[in-house]
Structure 1
């Protein structure tokens, strides 16, 4: 199914064969007449050092993807370069626009209170079989039981939640009970940046870079600050209840969406490349673009995510906010619909699926994998307001990313395929279809208290 012309940028993504990157680039230069822009090093903090002018390409070496800008008459030459590359060029796709996925159902600000060699165990094919089998087994069990009983610790529908000390999401994910804080784990948030002057991040270890031309990492939108706060806000914020999951992670902030809340595939892929270069174990992406029923996933993003997993980086993305339940359930959005990217749905404090949350309507990667809290979520916001409540699968995604950091610390620094499977196992089964919530609500590692 062709892409909507209004959702593409006029640029192209080129997937290069691992181990043959230079060969593929040379073919593009020779046949399409492209020039090559220099990609910035992982230590650069100033953004793109190469200027992507017309008929120019920039290569993201860690994931083996090139971003190309060229005139329309160049497309036949790109196709020819692929055909004559002998497999050095694997795919060419139009670049899409992507958007922040946390703008739906914005609420009134909430009043605040003062004060390995893992591939040998889980290869790509085996991992996908495992995840699908896990979902199928849960569905079969739920079907045979007729209804899934409320699990111990699961909030009762309609029960009031005391948020004076911690938000309902921190309680529902059991992060409030966890003895872990993400120490030693590197977590990247690819979004609209971060309010670097926010009092809750004044002592946090932060590495940042902007991938948006002409804009700094400073968050002029708010979405990125909100998502980063959920993933790793402090245990004791300056003027709010606890809202962050993994307070001690090493935070990597990549600005891939503009202050207007939009971006493009190339910026996202460059951010993924940067996070992989910096050995981040987790990438949180609260962004995407809608797809139509029956529309497949991006081969470029899928292979980039597979290569990231192989390097030890789990990519977690928002499932999307395009449903209007109960009249319409939209499919999981791009790029969360890739099989090797973890798709996160949103639930509310009553353990019900959020009305906007996209569903797993497609096979082969279009499923929802897990769910996180995503309705009326309090977190950090740029000053002078400093805190705000938002709703969206954007908010659910950093909950999963933050818990993933706790799991990585708890299990001795696991990463890649092993961490991905551990996330799926660390869920609370809900009385909802796997189509909507996947394996269930993400749960932080914690010690169970046994009554004597």
Structure 2
């Protein structure tokens, strides 16, 4: 469970008993093979229901299903799918958590919040950018959004809850904070600006409940919804501390790229670097088709809690953003809060992705490459910060 007061929060991967994710795909397939397989996967709901399986969810844009079943029944189902030339992977459905951490004291020679803008906006160059993300749809899949927050009056906001028994209103705070950083106001008449892509269209998908947790079913539903709405950027500040790449997010990340979207996710807060533990990139950020984001403090040093690259394909930190003592929007009368985590770094990168998408017209893989290419290089190991500090596009030449 998400508890923002606990330093160096760990979010261990917890399987849900009797629930499985069926991935009708494989990591080795090419894009053209994947498209053909997706057409055959359209038969999946009928196959499952005709054979007596309890189908919980099916996501047609992803070719992924969630079922309730005994493990031995699914072994038989895999064999039948193989005979139909429809390779299927079966993995337990897992629980994920919002990711935040407590900051450590920082030196004084650093970026600082001002009355006009947060240190994060200054560090990524958003304060000087002529781009606002206008015309770009940014989906933030998290704990929902405070739909009545006064700073977002007049903004285009589409919201939907995928958490049973809860509407899209944020009963936690984490989602409103992340949306504020990615898409909130860059300037305020009576306060501090804190949002990178202040002109973007906001898609607030509630995939984590008021307790800060959600499962593969809710997260995949949110991704499928974002793709249905043609969101060019999908931001996910959530994760589980599992070193193995989780197959559903290999498929989901690749399908998103095929459809013109880029998924950006938090690398994880499982490090305790001051105690010699560099941590590791967890799921879903360790998918090779999902951009993993590490966190920097206001001196542009790696945050103590920020996870390090794992050996092997998919486990790397791809880029970094401001993630320590980040001021942003918060639900209710409080209106604002300052918290830390790779969760806070991720929406900085998502916001910059929206600015670059507006400035260049790039989408998906090209947008990924542009984010990496334009990042500010740091005198730090790439296993910790990837390409460096994400940067807004410079002003266009006169």
Same fold (TM over 0.5): yes
Other structure's SS at 2:334 match: coil
**Residue 87 (structure 1) aligned to one of 85, 94, 98:** 85
Structure 1 residues 5 and 360: CA distance shift in structure 2, 3 A: closer
Distance 1:69 1:444 in 2: 45
Distance 1:5 1:191 in 2: 17
**Residue 48 (structure 2) aligned to one of 7, 28, 33:** 28
Residue 14 (structure 1) shift: 1.1
Distance 1:107 1:388 in 2: 17
Distance 2:208 2:14 in 1: 18
2:284 aligned partner? 335
Aligned-residue CA RMSD in angstroms?
2.2
Matches within 5 A, 1:9-408: 9-16=17-24, 17-31=37-51, 33-34=52-53, 55-71=54-70, 74-84=73-83, 86-102=84-100, 104-105=101-102, 158-159=109-110, 161-237=112-188, 239-291=190-242, 295-326=243-274, 327-408=276-357
| Conserved 8 A contact 2:13-2:96 | no
Distance 2:127 2:331 in 1: 24
Other structure's SS at 1:346 match: strand
Other structure's SS at 2:305 match: coil
Other structure's SS at 2:301 match: coil
Structure 1 residues 180 and 9: CA distance shift in structure 2, 3 A: farther
Structure 1 residues 299 and 87: CA distance shift in structure 2, 3 A: farther
Residue 25 (structure 1) shift: 3.7
**Post-superposition CA distance 1:167-203 (Å, at most 9, x none):** 1000000000100000000110000000011101111
TM-score normalised to structure 1 length: 0.78
Other structure's SS at 2:132 match: coil
TM-score normalised to structure 2 length: 0.89
1:439 paired with 2:387, answer yes
Count of residues paired in the alignment: 373
Other structure's SS at 2:196 match: coil
**Post-superposition CA distance 1:63-121 (Å, at most 9, x none):** 1111112345633443343343x33243111111000012x11799xxxxxxxxxxxxx
